[in-house]
Amino acid sequence: MRLFIALLLLFGIFTGGNCNKPNPVPPPPPPVLALTLRSATLMGQDFYEGKHNVGRAGVIRLLFSAPVNRATTSNTLIYTDGIGDAIPFSLNYERGDSQLLIQPSAALAGISLHKFKVLTTLKSVNGGSFTAGFDKSFITAIDSSRKFPTLTNEQLLDRVQQQTFKYFWDFAHPVSGLARERNTSGEIVTSGGSGFGLMAIVTAINRGFITRAQGLARLQTIVGFLKNTAQTFHGAYPHWLNGTTGIVVPFSAKDNGADLVETSYLIQGLLTVRQFFNDPGTAELTLRNDINTIAERVEWNWFRKNNEQVLYWHWSPNYNWDMNMPIRGWNECLITYVLAASSTTYGIPATVYHNGWARNGAIVNGNTYYGHTLPLGETAGGPLFFSHYSFLGINPNGLSDTYANYQTQTRNHTLINQGYCMANQNGASGYSDSVWGLTASDIQDGYTASSPTNDRGVIAPTAALSSFPYTPAESMAALQFFYYVLGDKIWKSYGFVDAFSLGTPWFASSFLAIDQGPIIIMIENYRSGLLWNLFTSCPEVKAGMRNLGFTAPYL
């Protein structure tokens, strides 16, 4: 007993003599966990940056790690189109507010960039912050609905020719009447593109878009300017001129003089005009005589540079032959040699064609691409304008020389280009049997000569449409797609814009004379052969082509 009491007293000493139990210390509150995103889907599939071909409903689901605070969602979900305009949407809460369903109020625009963001100010119901944020863009699928009423194929071709012609008629330079280089060129006009414009005017008269009297009046202005005002160098025109003064505008640092290739496109157009305006009356006779004066003063043989067996592209009064660019084939310059051989005043012998242009046969290809044998040129044919510019006037049907059958050349070149686009080995968005055509055009960051060996994912409408004489079915499929399906994007005041990419997406706002002109002309050659018949009816052209060794029914 005494021992027990002693132990109690001893215990009291160590416990301070207090037998009451102490108050317990409360545990610390649990930490507030950050709000995280567990999954994000767009139209039921994983939502990743740059997603293509997204359904136009644009439905987004976001699953978070915890229920979200509804009061924080109104200013944290940002849905916009590519230029930053807000997309109206409804918001629904699912799975106890941990999942958000975002549904646009209307279908999104087709082939368009859209962006969706979740800002870091979003909170969970217990205060957790969405510190990671979310910021993704995507591109919607094509809206395949028809944008315009259905026309017959003939009506559609009429519409395309007439609308595109406005570039050369309504937008022509007000003083000279020549074609501006592009729709943003101001005073700058282009010699080669103006040659295409001349052939477009002939087409417009023939189709009834303008009267013969209207066309004649415009052509009198143009021809008078070219004959009396525009600056020339050994009879050849520069690439660019001022449309009011006629003074050369340098195309590049040393390209401030003659451009023989651009001159050849201009002379091709002028000779076509001469053959069309065949009335014996004074006005049309004067026009023909003025055109002869312009054509006959081009010193084609002088551009051999001291009688070399090749023609040179440029000459400058300041830099002479420094550009040093011999014109060798296969490319867009066949017309230059044909006209040089056709000149009755400054002609070239056939040896210049064979040694210079044909490189003694080195232009021959003979390989097969996408099931089509290519007689001439570079791998897979190069850009399609190679088969357009010279053949605005030269009819390739039944045309042959030592090196090729040109009907085969132009058709197979086009089919190879289309075949490459259909195969789409680089995975460009949208390429198909009706979205094809690689040629020189504007691209998103500049300008390039697109081809199967230089594919930037950009389609130029002029490529397929200027190929109508070679591939009518394939070109019509492209035209119908461009007009009916993409028309809200690419059909504008002067016809089809210069180029587009369905992958970016990007749609040019530009129009170029050298791309618009061939559309009008080659559609007409497909429909009636008008420009081919006129140009190849020139007696000097017939003689020149025969001298170079060409054979054709029209020669």
At residue 2 the predicted structure's pLDDT band, cuts being 50, 70 and 90, is very low
What mean pLDDT is reported for the chain? Answer: 95
Under a CB-based contact definition with an 8 Å cutoff, are residues 315 and 257 in contact? Answer: yes
* CA 52 – CA 249 distance, rounded (Å): 43
What was the pLDDT predicted at 29? 72
Mean pLDDT of 162-173: 98
Residue 6 pLDDT: 45
Q: Is the pLDDT of residue 130 over 80?
A: yes
Residue-wise burial string across 471-492, b where 16 or more C-beta atoms lie within 10 A, e elsewhere: beebbbbbbbbbbbbbeebbbe
- Note the pLDDT tens digit of each residue in 428-448: 989 999 999 999 999 999 999
Q: Which residue has tokens 């799975």?
A: 95
Class of residue 244 by CB neighbours under 10 A (exposed 0-12, middle 13-18, buried 19+): middle
Instruction: Name residues whose C-beta falls within 8 Å of residue 416's C-beta, 6 or more positions apart in sequence.
Output: 369, 370, 372, 374, 380, 381, 452
CA distance linking residue 554 with residue 522, whole number of Å: 18
> At residue 469, what is the residue type?
P
How much is the pTM?
0.92
What fold, for 153-547?
Glycosyltransferase (1.50.10)
Contacts with 425 (C-beta within 8 Å, 6 or more apart), sequence order: none
Residue 14 pLDDT: 43
Cα–Cα nearest to 165, from 155, 153, 176, 179: 179
Q: Is the pLDDT of residue 244 over 90?
A: yes
pLDDT value at residue 518: 98
Which helix (DSSP H) or strand (DSSP E) does residue 215 occupy? helix 212-228
Q: What is the pLDDT of residue 28?
A: 74
What is the SS3 assignment for 480?
A: helix
Nearby residues of 457 by Cβ (< 8 Å), 6 or more positions away? 426, 428, 429, 501, 503, 504
List the end-to-end C-alpha distance of the chain, in Å, as a whole number.
Answer: 144
pLDDT above 50 (res 301): yes
What was the pLDDT predicted at 305?
Answer: 97
From CA 517, how far away is CA 4, in angstroms rounded?
A: 120
* Residue 7: pLDDT over 90: no
Residues in CB range of 105: below 8 A, 6 or more apart: 87, 88, 89, 90
Q: In the prediction, which pLDDT does 27 show? A: 77
Please tell me the distance from the alpha carbon of residue 195 to that of residue 222, in angstroms, as a whole number.
10
Quick one: pLDDT band at residue 12, thresholds 50, 70, 90? very low
Residues in contact with 289: Cβ distance below 8 Å, sequence separation at least 6, in sequence order: none
Buried b / exposed e along 82-98 (16+ C-beta atoms within 10 A): eeeeebebeeeeeeebb
Please give the average per-residue pLDDT across 1-21, as a whole number: 46
In the block, tokens 């023939």 appear at: 206
Q: What per-residue confidence (pLDDT) applies to 20?
A: 56
Residue 481 DSSP symbol:
I
Give the DSSP H or E segment for 450: none
Rounded Cα–Cα distance for residues 499 and 213 (Å): 34
pLDDT at 31 over 90: no
Contact between 140 and 58 under an 8 Å Cβ cutoff? The reply is: yes
Note whether 418 and 426 are within 8 A (CB): no
Q: Does domain 37-140 have CATH number 2.60.40.1220?
A: yes
Q: What digits encode the pLDDT tens for the residues 63-80?
A: 999 999 999 999 999 999
The answer to whether the beta carbons of residues 201 and 219 sit under 8 Å apart is yes
Mean pLDDT of 112-132: 96
pLDDT greater than 60 at residue 280: yes
Q: How far apart are CA 322 and CA 257, in angstroms?
A: 11
Is 345 a residue whose pLDDT tops 70?
A: yes
Distance (Å, rounded) from C-alpha 174 to C-alpha 290?
21
pLDDT category at 25 given cuts 50, 70, 90 is confident
Question: pLDDT tens digits, residue range 134-145?
Answer: 999 999 999 999
To the nearest whole percent, how much of the chain has pLDDT over 90? Answer: 92
Contacts of 83 (CB under 8 A, 6+ apart): none
Q: Is the pLDDT of residue 400 over 60?
A: yes
**Mean pLDDT along residues 246-267:** 98
Q: Structural domain boundaries of the chain?
A: 37-140, 153-547
Within 10 angstroms of residue 447's Cβ, the number of other Cβ atoms is 14
Per-residue pLDDT tens digits for 39-56 = 999 999 999 999 999 999
